[in-house]
Amino acid sequence: MFKYSNTNKRYYTLDYFYKNKFGGKVFKVSLNAGFTCPNIDGKVGVGGCIYCSNGSGEYAGNKQKDLITQFNDVKEMMLKKWPKAKYIGYFQANTNTYAPIDILKEKYETILKLDDVVGINIATRPDSISVECLDYLEKLSKKTYLTIELGLQTIHENTSKLINRCHDLKCFECMVKNLRKRGINVVVHIINGLPYETKEMMIDTVKYLSNLDIQGIKIHMLSILKGTRLEKLYNETHFKLISREEYIDIVCDQLEYLREDIVINRITGDPKVSNLIEPNWLIKKVTILNDIDKEMKKRDTYQGAKYKKKD
């Protein structure tokens, strides 16, 4: 059995981590606090990343509702199955540190005051956390369980330019170091299947992250969604999408190269079916997860089996 598991999983799941840290079931509640993004409003770029249909956070709450209503809508559903659950507020939509400090405080602390909330996760960009914001986040991390989620997607600069990420790898690495100096937890998002990337390139992204002081990772599969610039690029160039079998193989390789103590927050994409163009196999999320488990068992391998610390 894998060191950080009490099931058939051979990698460090978020559910296992939460149960051991908080003593029971914990749910993340996705929220839309009405923020925008510097890659949308023109500060660093326009149009956002080419795969975004309406900013990040496809499953975040309805921004027409206040944060407490958004939160309670989800909590009421979860209570039916898990009456003793605890919650983490997940500020998911767009760039959730891209606002003046007084606004950030009001948004975050509104959720932290709610019953059974044990922490918050904040999705943002490494170029959108000011020194003033870092100071505030450090104080916040001493009061609650705080995690900052950073979108990296890839370490390869040519791909970064193609997807219009609008920040470089050095910016990302500096922010990880700044957050960790202040004791703030970091989760990193990556995307497999970005246009023209090879299996080796995707594995290199994970090898790089394994040697950074990060606490978690989210592994996504590229989704081509209606109305995005990615859809236009796909229709014009017909770049190759990786198959379901290739994805499973790549993820298992990536898990082998990841440090065993990095928590796997996500291991596949979860697009809205109504917006999805390709790949259609992403719809069957549970079977993908099951087949990753089967492949890890077939290989008789575990997360971190091939990890080597960089000198």
- Domain residue extents for the chain: 14-299
Total Cβ atoms within 10 A of residue 237: 10
pLDDT at 59 over 70: no
In the chain, the amino acid numbered 297 is: K
Q: How confident is the model at residue 272, as a pLDDT?
A: 84
Mean pLDDT across the stretch 245-260? Answer: 98
**pLDDT score of 232:** 95
Q: How many C-alpha atoms does 257 have within 13 Å on its Cβ side?
A: 19
Q: How far is CA 101 from CA 119, 127, 137, 256, in A?
A: 19, 16, 10, 40
Instruction: List the single range of 19-28, 46-55, 101-110, 133-142 with lowest mean pLDDT.
Output: 46-55
- The pLDDT value recorded for residue 80 is 85
Q: What is the pLDDT of residue 38?
A: 85
Mean per-residue pLDDT, 235-264: 97
Q: Within the chain, what is the greatest distance between any pair of CA atoms?
A: 52
- The pLDDT assigned to 54 comes to 64
pTM for the structure as a whole: 0.95
Question: Is the pLDDT score of 60 beyond 80?
Answer: no
Strands (E), the chain: 26-31, 86-91, 117-124, 145-153, 185-192, 216-221, 224-225, 263-266, 276-278
What does the pLDDT read at residue 63?
A: 76
Q: Is the pLDDT assigned to residue 57 strictly greater than 70?
A: no
Query: Which residues on adjacent β-strands are paired with residue 149?
Result: 123, 187
Quote the pLDDT of residue 6: 85
Q: Give me the chain's average pLDDT, please.
A: 93
Does residue 55 register a pLDDT over 70? no
CA torsion 149-150-154-158 (nearest 10°) is 160
61 pLDDT above the threshold of 70: no
Q: What is the mean pLDDT of residues 240-254?
A: 97
Q: Out of 78-87, 123-132, 183-192, which region has the weakest mean confidence (pLDDT)?
A: 78-87
CATH, domain range 14-299: 3.80.30.30
> In this structure, how many other beta carbons lie within 10 angstroms of the beta carbon of residue 297?
11
**Which tops the pLDDT comparison, 55 or 282?**
282
